[in-house]
Amino acid sequence: MSQPLLEQLIEAFRVLPGVGQKTAQRMAYHVLERERDGGLRLASVLAEAIEKIGHCEQCRDFSESPICPVCASSNRERQMLCVIESPADRLAIEHATSYRGVYFVLQGRLSPLDGIGPRELGLDQLESRLAQGEVGELIIATNSTVEGEATAHYLAQLARRHKVIPSRLAQGLPLGGELEYVDRGTLSHAFGSRSELAE
């Protein structure tokens, strides 16, 4: 016997981060009781987004086209490349700073225990980009977590191998914090006061 639709709907909501059984149940009931039109729109947009949104071939950010608008823009400074963990970090930097360079999105951070190594983060792609000689500064904007710091160290070594200056965001960012949740003023200051990473 198949699982009732209501239970399937509740389970479907649980794929979202931070959504437990009770929250998923509230969401399911809300959609069925008061937001059926909104639920249909959500289902339609979600299906279309999953089908049509992929990754930019240059920076690995989410994109509907092979090259995202940031990478395609002629107004960006190609000699500055900012490495971030997630697309949410790019949005935070764009809103909080005047940074006009380009990005490389890792879609995670080094975590051997979770099976996430250099290949999963696209670091071979990043290395070939650094080898082209266009990038002069690699701004390492990984989060201040243990994994983020280990990733930063690895990226700095990669940059130096290709004669690229590695820099790190200034202190002021909370230890263990994530860029996505840092206030604009702090992030803007940390970005503007970045310094070259010592060997």
Averaged pLDDT, 145-153: 89
Spell out the CATH class of 62-196: alpha beta
The boundaries of every CATH 3.40.1360.10 domain in the chain are 62-196
Q: How would DSSP label each residue in 123-137? A: HHHHHHHHHTS---E
Instruction: Give CA–CA dist 128/48, Å, rounded.
Output: 32
Stretch 171-178: mean pLDDT: 55
Confidence of residue 81 (pLDDT cuts 50, 70, 90): very high
CATH among 3.40.50.300, 3.40.50.10330, 1.10.8.420, 3.10.450.40 for 5-52: 1.10.8.420
Tokens of 162: 């290709």
CA separation, residue 161 to residues 134, 136, 198 (Å): 14, 12, 14
Report the pLDDT value the prediction gives residue 144, as an integer from 0 to 100. Answer: 81
More confidently predicted of 179 and 20: 20
Q: For CATH 1.10.8.420, list the domain ranges present in the chain.
A: 5-52
The one-letter code for the residue type at 76 is: R
Q: Looking at residue 197, what is its pLDDT? A: 64
The whole-number pLDDT of residue 199 equals: 64
Please report the pLDDT score of residue 154 as a whole number.
94
Averaged over 174-197, what is the pLDDT? 61
